[in-house]
Amino acid sequence: MKIQAVVFDFDGVILDTEKARYDAWQSVFQSYGQTLPIDIWVESIGRTKYATDPLELLEKLTGKSLDKEYIRNLQRLKSHEFADRLSLLPGVQKCILEAVSLKLKIGIASSSSRTWVQRHLEKRGLLEFFNVLVCREDTDYHKPSPVHYLTALKKLNCNPASSVAIEDSPLGIESAVGSGMYCIAVACSFTQSMDLSKAHKIEKSLEDVSFSRLIRSV
C-alpha cells in the first residue's frame, strides 16, 4: 500500500481524554450527591453533541434548576485539569516519529474543539508534527459523516485511497471508512467493549502499528 498521509482521531487515540471528561462530569455529579452512569457517557463517544446531555440529566436527578453556565465552565476546567495529568497513550510518539521518518503528511480529524485539541498537543510538544488540524468548528457535518476526514485530506492534498486513519470508536471508524481511507482501530478505555469490526484492522495499541509494515503488506 502506498501511503501519503496518516490522520489521527484525537480523543481516545492520542490521549485517553474520554476518561478525563467523564471523570470531570462525575466529579460535578458527586458534588450534588449523584452519579453519572458510564453507559450514558459511552453513548456520546465520537459525537460532536451529547446523546444525553449530562447537565440535563443532573437537573432531572436533582429535581432542581441549576446554574448551567457555572456548571459547564466547572466541568470544562476539571476536564482540562484531569486531561493535563494524562500521559500519551502507548505508541503515539512512536507512530508520529515513524510517520515523520517516512515523510508522510500527518493530520488530526477530531469532533472536539480546536482549543481542546491544540492545547493538549502543544502541552506535550506534538503540535509541530501535525500539518493540519480539522476540528469541530471546521465542518458543518461531523462523524459518522466522512466530511471530517475528507476535509483533512483536501487540506493535505492527499488521496483517501493512499491514506490511513487511526480511530477508537464505531462512529469514527464509520467516518474514516466512508471517506475511502484505510482505517486502523485502537480502542481506548471506554471503547474496548464496542464493536470496532468495521475497521480494516484492529490493534491492541499504537505500539502494534507499523506504517512501514503496512506499506509492505497491504
Catalytic annotation on 23?
no
Residue from 11, 67, 84, 168 carrying the catalytic annotation: 11
Query: Distances in Å between the alpha carbon of 44 and those of 113, 182, 187?
Result: 15, 24, 15
| Strand ordering across the sheet containing 182-186 | 132-134, 105-109, 5-8, 163-167, 182-186, 201-203
Residue from 9, 84, 195, 208 carrying the catalytic annotation: 9
Q: For strand 182-186 and strand 105-109, is the pairing parallel, antiparallel, or unpaired?
A: unpaired
With cell 481524554, the residue in question is 17
Catalytic annotation on 138?
no
Element (H, E) at 152: helix 147-156
Distance separating the N- and C-terminal Cα atoms of the chain: 5
Amino acid in position 65: S
Which 8-state DSSP code applies to residue 65? -
3-state SS assignment for residue 106: strand
What span, in angstroms and rounded, lies between the C-alpha atoms of 201 and 186? 9
Q: Which residues are catalytic?
A: 9, 11
